[in-house]
Structure 1
Amino acid sequence: MSSSSQCSAVLPAELMMEILSRVPVKDLMRFRCTSKWMNHLILDRALVKLHLQRCSKNTNILLTIVDYENNKTMYCAASCSLQSLPQNPSSTIDYNCHRFNHDYIVVGVCNGLVCLQDSHRGVDYQELWVRFWNPSTRLMSEDSPRLRVPSNDNRYPYPFQFGFGYDDRSDTYQVVFLDNKSHKIEVSVHSLGDSCWRNILSCDALVILSFSGAYVCGTINWLAVPKSGSGYQGKNFINKLKIFSYDVKNEKCNYLSMPDVPCEGFPDAPVIAVFKGCLCLSYRQGTRFLVWTMREFGVAKSWTPLLNINYKDLQIHVPYGMPIIPVVLCISENDNVLLGSYGTAEFFLYNKKDNRIDRYELFNDNMFCCFSYDCVQSLVLPYRN
């Protein structure tokens, strides 16, 4: 009797799934090599879903990194635990860093699955496509069908936007493409495993200020301002901002309220992200760096100030001529905030309770972190099986 037959005879498949759903992904990927039966079981959709339910609270973060080593630009991503990264950033990033062969842009992360965007620029057009990648299993899909847009498009600040989310009703992972034309936004969707992009709907035109949307509670969200006038400039522009929200399940667009923030000086364009399952807004205003979080999605009154510090206290190592731009990398359960600096390889752990900076480290002169995403270690496949 084969080993697979012996396993199935001793333990029912349902019990094996219950056991395997509690095993780390790294070990499960090794188990796949033991037999065809085990390989089939580990990639079974039922086990993938059950394992995702079990691991959903064990959140890592995915750092997107640019590496300038040897006068070459290399785009990288590193999946790190919330415990190991603040303790030893250098070794943690080096050990977990995955260097891409293409200039991939991370569009978003959902249930441990990462959406990567790539492009090719022709003389008068640009082709765009996406791939799906699971950093825990190291499995990657083939390229999606391609989109073609004009290459001489100068719409500010981005002629188009992407977003990545999950429709729990149809159990599909979807990439949303916004083509921001002069009088309307055309919304197209590509579902994992499909052979085309679907045109969904048209919305009123806006100036959208973020390339990638933030996925939370079944919606993908971008910062935007009205298209008329110079709404994205000037002293009071932050009060003109909207959150353009696309409902993945119902294929509808909506608008969310911004927090009621003071307008002092000329703030930088805010950054929208998701941490601990909540929509977060961060921006620099004068010498202050502020972070707000929406504790209950869609409820305007739930916007809560989380961080308000003088970024000069971070003592960021600034190369000549570079702006100082703090970046939120993760938020712990007790609301401590791990910060990075866009353009430098530094980490700062802000202790909210004691109102102090606990850690400062320059981890690699050749690297710097761009953005960060909450990311669980899952078995979710980047292709349809």
Structure 2
Amino acid sequence: MPTDDNDAETKAATGTELVSCPTARTRQLSDVSDEIMMEILLRFPVRTLASLRSVCTSWRNLISSPPFTCNHLRRSCLLDPTLTTLRIAYCTWAYRNDVRCGTIGLLSVHSILDNPSEPTQVDCFREQRYYGIIGSCNGLLCLVDEHAFKYMHAILWNPCTGFTFESPEISGEVRFCGFGYDHLSDSYKIFATIRTEGPSDFEFSTRIYTFGPTSSWRKIDDIPVALFGVPIDNPSWAVNREGEFFGSSILCTLNWCVNHVVLYFDLGKETYGHFPLPDSDINLDRHYFPRLCTHLCVLRNCLSVCYGDKSTYGCFLYDWNVWQMKEYGDAQSWTKLAVIPVYENFTYSDPCRCFQPLYISESDVLLAFCPFFGIVLCNLNDGSVDFPEIDNSGMGNHPAFSQCVGYRMACIYHDSLVSPNGLRSNSSKMLLRFIKPKLKLIDS
């Protein structure tokens, strides 16, 4: 078969010869089995898959199906972390026209760690009401409407897919709460102790809501507060009111610091338990302020605690001690991970504000949140401290961080396609009103 000049030039440049195959045809997508298509799509990152849902109906149904989202979540967490992006979600608030308005910001953890001197871009979502962050799990953020103090309702939000789901309202003020995954029932639950005004005094009740199409708040056994000798209105409850979720293949719990122990709630069995904090020089005197300054977190898949240890009590200067529990529930497995030395930006006189570790990189750089300052990086190898540039987010020296915010201000989550039990969004009035930014999230 004769070739034109362009073909000749191509052969000369590449050293190859073009072969005509008139019987060949392009294989259509319809020729690929569902099993092979699933295996192909499972290898794409979360945000790419979120876009691919619009290619065709069959892809949308496949990518949105619970088996696919579960398989992709498992693969991205255990086999290939590059399929998902680890992020920080934070919330702040400010008054506009005498109305408290909220902002939720999302930014990439690896962008901060890899290029701390380069501004990390942020997605900022602003609302006319304030939504506090209760926690995160499997790519879902659980928010609570704190605009009113006589009722509450929880909102589940997947920032990657846009999924939102609201729980029914429940009367009362939330005193403490938690959000997590129940591996026994494959469901997501929110835990809340509600305070209501009774005939003679305030009354408390504990409720559970399981996210589902027909779910409602149901009453469960109250926390055995007598065990700890701390009234439920004690300041230590308010300081640690969001339970830290810890999940494994055999146990999923919410955890709070109460007095000198960790109180936990088993989300599967819906029972309580407790174990002591690390056996250290923590002052257990209930009137000693730094005892209140205790923060639970999960670092490298271990329940961890950070507390302030006085170095100069009269000036309220703290060294920050970070401990890890290598075997969950085994008090003998507490191991000191790091001591963060006194630094002027990490110290403040408010004992209810704690240095909050969020993540540790493979190179032993601790990423933490400082309520009065923002995001900081602490190198555990040489003790150096860095303050990353955050673009257009107010994460550095933001006045909102010096104000008292009722719920946690920052947490770690990762992109996922998860929606509980395949639920569809039921909210038409909440996050859809958020002002979405023009900047795109960094996926590095």
In the other structure, the counterpart of 2:61 is 40
In the other structure, the counterpart of 1:234 is none
Question: How far apart are the structure 2 equivalents of 1:51 and 1:339?
Answer: 28
In the other structure, the counterpart of 1:62 is 88
- CA displacement 1:155-208 (0-9 Å, x = unmatched): xxxx62111111122111111112479999743211112431111223322543
Question: How far apart are the structure 1 equivalents of 2:301 and 2:204?
Answer: 27
Whether 1:77 and 2:104 are equivalent positions in the alignment is: yes
Whether 1:253 and 2:272 are equivalent positions in the alignment is: yes
Question: How far apart are the structure 1 equivalents of 2:304 and 2:358?
Answer: 11
Give the aligned CA root-mean-square deviation in angstroms: 3.1
In the other structure, the counterpart of 1:166 is 181
In the other structure, the counterpart of 1:352 is 380
- CA displacement 1:75-113 (0-9 Å, x = unmatched): 333443332123248742x43333344311111111111
In the other structure, the counterpart of 1:107 is 134
Indicate how the Cα distance of structure 1 residues 165 and 339 shifts in structure 2: closer, same or farther if over 3 A, else same: closer
Are the aligned partners of 2:131 and 2:147 in contact in 1 as well (CA < 8 Å)? Answer: no
Indicate how the Cα distance of structure 1 residues 68 and 318 shifts in structure 2: closer, same or farther if over 3 A, else same: farther
Are the aligned partners of 1:292 and 1:305 in contact in 2 as well (CA < 8 Å)? Answer: yes
Question: How far apart are the structure 1 equivalents of 2:346 and 2:302?
Answer: 30
Matches within 5 A, 1:302-341: 302-312=333-343, 315-316=344-345, 325-341=354-370
In the other structure, the counterpart of 1:233 is none
Indicate how the Cα distance of structure 1 residues 334 and 368 shifts in structure 2: closer, same or farther if over 3 A, else same: farther
Question: How far apart are the structure 1 equivalents of 2:112 and 2:399?
Answer: 15
- Which residue type is aligned with residue 163 of structure 1? G
- SS of alignment partner, residue 328 of structure 1: strand
Q: Aligned match of 1:290 in 305, 321, 343? A: 321
Are the aligned partners of 1:291 and 1:307 in contact in 2 as well (CA < 8 Å)? Answer: yes
Q: Aligned match of 1:275 in 299, 317, 320? A: 299
- Which residue type is aligned with residue 223 of structure 1? C
- Which residue type is aligned with residue 196 of structure 1? S
Tell me the matched-pair count.
Answer: 347
Whether 1:211 and 2:234 are equivalent positions in the alignment is: no
In the other structure, the counterpart of 2:256 is 222
- Which residue type is aligned with residue 103 of structure 1? Y
Shift of 1:336: 2.2
* Higher CA-based Rg: 2
More strand by share: 1
My pick for the range that moved more, 59-68 or 362-371, is: 362-371
- SS of alignment partner, residue 202 of structure 1: coil
Are the aligned partners of 2:129 and 2:147 in contact in 1 as well (CA < 8 Å)? Answer: no
TM-score relative to the length of structure 1 = 0.79
Matches within 5 A, 1:110-189: 110-121=137-148, 126-141=150-165, 143-149=166-172, 160-179=175-194, 186-189=205-208
Indicate how the Cα distance of structure 1 residues 69 and 145 shifts in structure 2: closer, same or farther if over 3 A, else same: closer
- Which residue type is aligned with residue 331 of structure 1? I
- Which residue type is aligned with residue 128 of structure 1? M
Question: How far apart are the structure 2 equivalents of 1:344 and 1:267?
Answer: 19
Are the aligned partners of 1:185 and 1:204 in contact in 2 as well (CA < 8 Å)? Answer: no
Question: How far apart are the structure 1 equivalents of 2:91 and 2:411?
Answer: 12
Shift of 1:56: 1.5
Are the aligned partners of 1:183 and 1:204 in contact in 2 as well (CA < 8 Å)? Answer: no
Higher RCO by CA contacts (8 Å cutoff, separation 6 or greater): 2
Shift of 1:69: 9.5
Are the aligned partners of 1:325 and 1:342 in contact in 2 as well (CA < 8 Å)? Answer: yes
Whether 1:373 and 2:411 are equivalent positions in the alignment is: yes
- Which residue type is aligned with residue 151 of structure 2? E
Indicate how the Cα distance of structure 1 residues 263 and 304 shifts in structure 2: closer, same or farther if over 3 A, else same: same
Indicate how the Cα distance of structure 1 residues 185 and 22 shifts in structure 2: closer, same or farther if over 3 A, else same: farther
TM-score relative to the length of structure 2 = 0.70
- Which residue type is aligned with residue 216 of structure 2? C
Indicate how the Cα distance of structure 1 residues 254 and 89 shifts in structure 2: closer, same or farther if over 3 A, else same: farther
Question: How far apart are the structure 1 equivalents of 2:39 and 2:126?
Answer: 34
Are the aligned partners of 1:61 and 1:80 in contact in 2 as well (CA < 8 Å)? Answer: yes
In the other structure, the counterpart of 1:228 is none
Question: How far apart are the structure 2 equivalents of 1:36 and 1:188?
Answer: 39
Shift of 1:297: 0.9
- CA displacement 1:286-326 (0-9 Å, x = unmatched): 231111111221111111112213222xx42989x888853
Indicate how the Cα distance of structure 1 residues 161 and 263 shifts in structure 2: closer, same or farther if over 3 A, else same: closer
Are the aligned partners of 1:68 and 1:366 in contact in 2 as well (CA < 8 Å)? Answer: no
- SS of alignment partner, residue 50 of structure 1: helix
Name stretches of at least 5 consecutive residues in structure 2 with no aligned partner. Answer: 1-26, 311-317, 402-407, 425-444
Are the aligned partners of 1:56 and 1:376 in contact in 2 as well (CA < 8 Å)? Answer: no
Are the aligned partners of 2:308 and 2:354 in contact in 1 as well (CA < 8 Å)? Answer: yes
Q: Aligned match of 1:343 in 372, 378, 385? A: 372
